Amino acid sequence: MAIDSNMRARLAEQIQCIRQSDDPLNQYFFEKASIANLPKGQHVCHEGSNCSHLAILLNGTARVYKLGENGKEITLYRVGPGESCILTASCILSHIPFPAFAICETDVEAAVVPASDVRRWLSESSAWQDYIFGLVATRLSNIINVVEDVVFRRMDKRIADHLCNRMDKTGHVLLVTHQEIASELGTSREVVSRILKEFELDGMIKVTRGSIELLDPEKLHQKHSER
Partner DNA sequence: GCCATGTCTGTGACTAAGTCACACAGGGGT
Partner DNA sequence: ACCCCTGTGTGACTTAGTCACAGACATGGC
Among positions 121-160, residues that touch DNA (CB under 7 A) are 154-156
Alpha helices in 33-69 (DSSP H): none
Interface with a copy of itself (CB under 8 A), residue from 103, 122, 164, 191: 122
In whole angstroms, give the CA distance from residue 115 to residue 120.
9
Residue 44: what are its φ and ψ, rounded to 5°? -90, -45
Residues paired with residue 65 on neighbouring β-strands, in sequence order: 75, 101
Q: Please tell me whether residue 6 binds DNA under the rule CB under 7 A.
A: no
In whole angstroms, give the CA distance from residue 11 to residue 4.
11
Alpha helices in 21-98 (DSSP H): 25-32, 86-94
Residue 111: what are its φ and ψ, rounded to 5°? -90, 130
* Angle of CA points 185, 187, 191, to nearest 5°: 115
How many helices and strands (H and E) does the chain possess? 9, 10
Q: Please tell me whether residue 22 binds a copy of itself under the rule CB under 8 A.
A: no
Interface with a copy of itself (CB under 8 A), residue from 8, 10, 32, 66: 66
Interface with DNA (CB under 7 A), residue from 27, 138, 179, 225: 179
Q: Please tell me whether residue 182 binds a copy of itself under the rule CB under 8 A.
A: no
Q: How many residues bind DNA (CB under 7 A)?
A: 23
Q: Please tell me whether residue 193 binds DNA under the rule CB under 7 A.
A: yes
Least distance from C-beta 156 to a copy of itself, angstroms? 16
Of 3-11, 38-46, 133-141, 174-182, which segment contacts a copy of itself by CB under 8 A?
A: 133-141
Q: Please tell me whether residue 119 binds a copy of itself under the rule CB under 8 A.
A: yes
Interface with a copy of itself (CB under 8 A), residue from 22, 151, 208, 209: 151
Give the one entry of a copy of itself, DNA, none that residue 8 binds, where binding means its C-beta sits below a cut-off of 5 to 8 angstroms depending on kind. none
Least distance from C-beta 192 to DNA, angstroms? 8
Residues in the chain: 227
